[in-house]
Chains A and B, each alone.
Chain A
Amino acid sequence: MSALETAETKQNLRRIAIDPVTRVEGHGKVTILLDDNNRVHQVRLHIVEFRGFEAFIEGRPFWEVPVVVQRLCGICPVSHHLAAVKAMDHIAGYHSLTPTAEKLRRLMHYGQILQSHAVHFFHLASPDLLLGFDSEPTRRNIVGVAAQFPEIALQGVLLRKYGQEIIRHTSGKRIHGTGAIPGGVNKTLTAAEREELRREIDIMIGWARDAVGLVAQLHATRPDFYDAFGEFPSNMMGLAAPNGALELYDGSLRARDASGAMIFDQVPCSDYDSLLQEEVKPWTYMKFPHIRSLGAEAGWYKVGPLARIQTCDFIPTPLAEEERKKFMAQGGGKPRHGTLLFHWARMIEALHAVETIRDLLDDPDIVGIDLMGEKGERHTEAVGVIEAPRGTLFHHYRVGADDLVSYCNLIVSTTNNNQAMNEAIRSVAKDHLSGHEVTEGLLNHIEVAIRAYDPCLSCATHAIGQMPLQVDLRDASGALVGRRRKNFSGDAA
């Protein structure tokens, strides 16, 4: 764990708060303690999301939960929907799905991966990468990208839209639909809907390839910078298929250490709580999960695209696998840990998602009408795990004899990445902030690192008009000595 988590003494340190972090979840806040020479002594990311949601679920009927949990997140509601329904399948007594139901759920999930990865990279991250971390903040957004790189912006928008159309056709709505129900799905894909989606698939595959190319090209402009920005070694966790393939919808848990050695493999998802432990720290509500056997100091890990493509043995679609191999080759066969490499991995996964969507659309089962599995013995407890766009997502429920949820535990991707994001911003603060006069552009470096992991749509939409950002400088006693602020329109004040 980095030394920058807690300063040795708070005496004579100034405190900077980046609150809220733009283009990431609404309740993110970063605090930095600096001394008179602007040397960084402490950096912390505080996230106050998700508190209380478990209590909101307890007491609700189990079949309602997959729909209600979608409200947890504006950027990946489908992930919560599917993680919850996978648990509720077992609660309701459905231990296998019909081929059509499973494939329709997968289609929905890969549509979600595509739309989320597209919005994450094009809308939220590309402004920093294409226009510059310290470019004019009022133009550092998707509108600014569209002005300078209209084709890239358009492809990003259309890739996202294609993913949303898949979600609409499988869940009834582009956002917050109902599609998956315990035991199966509620909606067929009609032949006409399938044709509509098939018509554009080759274009999407082309654009997804271009997107991987774009990130690789950006990397090639400054390889040292891209590799080292927010770099820190860590364990990595993700789902894998029995043959070691990347698996985003349903697999077993696997983790490798920073050098790529296997820590555990093929652990059933239902054993997650014997594998992982969540640590509480006094300075934030967000818990810090770690691999129990390794302890809190050594056992934390990252999840999400960069972890997944390096935890699996291969990606089961050819174009994405080719890109993964190129990516790995640049690391000399060793895992790569630079924070900006998340975007590269993300676009490789987006390509994998489009390839998988093509295969699913070609599968005759996808237009089947057998939507519900056989009902068997019910369970009172179940765990549903899925690879959400941002990383592994755990839903764990117990349901009473009255069909109402009596216990609920969620470990969301953000929580899984909590320590990793803290490490990333500490690395960036140490390399880029320490010893310099603090400017908006330098502070944005911190945000760039967070955004590589975890932006959120609900905020992102605000970001188009610029979120307000306030930086407070305080002396050791906490008194405000200076304030820099930009308002909703992005003007500095």
Chain B
Amino acid sequence: MSEILAQLMLDGHKIAFEPGQTILQAALAAGVYIPHLCAHPEFEPHGSCKLCTVVVNGRNGSACTIKAMPGQDVLSDTPELNLRRRTLLQMLFAEGNHFCPGCEKSGNCQLQALAYDLEMFDPHFAQFFPAREADGTHPEAFLDFNRCIMCELCVRASRDVDGKNVFALAGRGRDTHIIVNSPSGKLGDSTFSIHDKAGQVCPVGAILPKEVGFVRPIGERLYDHDTIAEVALREDATWREGEK
């Protein structure tokens, strides 16, 4: 009996994978970028943003949650899928208050970098303009949930790595939002520290260290010269801003 090779087809190319890897992990290891926002190499997949949606043997699925298997024929970089990804990004932009020109995360933000990469030129949808608060009560960190995309990376990091449960998702539907677990609901009142993992994982500009905004000049920011794909595929795995 011939051995079954740990290989799958991705956009017509054969790629090898390690048993147990997800399609996203296998693709990144093989040097192929699949857009993603809520996935992080150090955390269990979450499968919420749907940016990583691929077609596996004719069916849609999240590349960050589906395990790689021999015989899979995966489509990712197709005009149809990229169009849908762009629409998802437009929805994320419409859902929050994302004001890139004045945002200190600009140039280092995964949401913005993906929007550039997927050629999102306009917001398309009517803005929700949700009323969300900024919280400056913590001495080291500034929270601006206007920019939150509900990826729950901070929730996972605080719970699974920091063992603190500082952040949680609350509300439903349009009212879904991140809350802070403290008597006043303010970060200053919680056990959070900017050195926590939760202080380092936010892919957008919602959890930020104080007073260092704009310290890095234009031209030296993470995505000034490289696309999000190039940054994500760098071997030194410094692809998440703040984790260096």
Contacts and interface: CB of A to CB of B under 8 A. Distances in A.
B interface, over-half SS: loop
Contact of A67 (B104, B134, B210, B212): B104
Interface stretch (A304-312, A397-405, A452-460): A397-405
Interface in B211-230: 211-219
Contacts of B213: 61, 63-64, 67, 181
B173 interface: no
Taking each of B135, B213, B214, B219, which has the highest tally of chain A beta carbons within 10 Å of its own beta carbon? B214
Interface string A55-76: 0000111011011101100000
B137 interface: yes
30 contacts: A61-B134, A61-B136, A61-B142, A61-B213, A63-B104, A63-B212, A64-B104, A64-B214, A66-B214, A67-B101, A67-B102, A67-B104, A68-B102, A70-B101, A71-B101, A172-B218, A178-B217, A178-B218, A179-B217, A182-B211, A186-B214, A186-B215, A186-B216, A187-B217, A187-B218, A187-B219, A403-B136, A403-B210, A403-B211, A404-B136
Contact of B137 (A60, A182, A402): A402
Contacts of A68: 101-102
B102 A71 contact: yes
Given A61-B136, A92-B211, A402-B136, A172 B104 contact: no
Taking each of A68, A70, A171, which has the highest tally of chain B beta carbons within 10 Å of its own beta carbon? A68
Interface in B182-215: 188, 210-215
Interface residues of B, number: 20
Nearest to B104: A64
A71 B102 CA distance: 8
Interface of B: 101-104, 134-137, 142, 188, 210-219
Contacts, number: 63
A403 B187 CA distance: 14
Interface string A148-185: 00000000000000000000000111001111011000
Contacts of B142: 61, 403
Nearest to B134: A59
B216 A402 contact: no
A171 B136 contact: no
A63 B102 CA distance: 11
Contacts of B217: 172, 178-179, 186-187
Nearest to A186: B217
A67 B102 CA distance: 6
Interface in A343-364: none
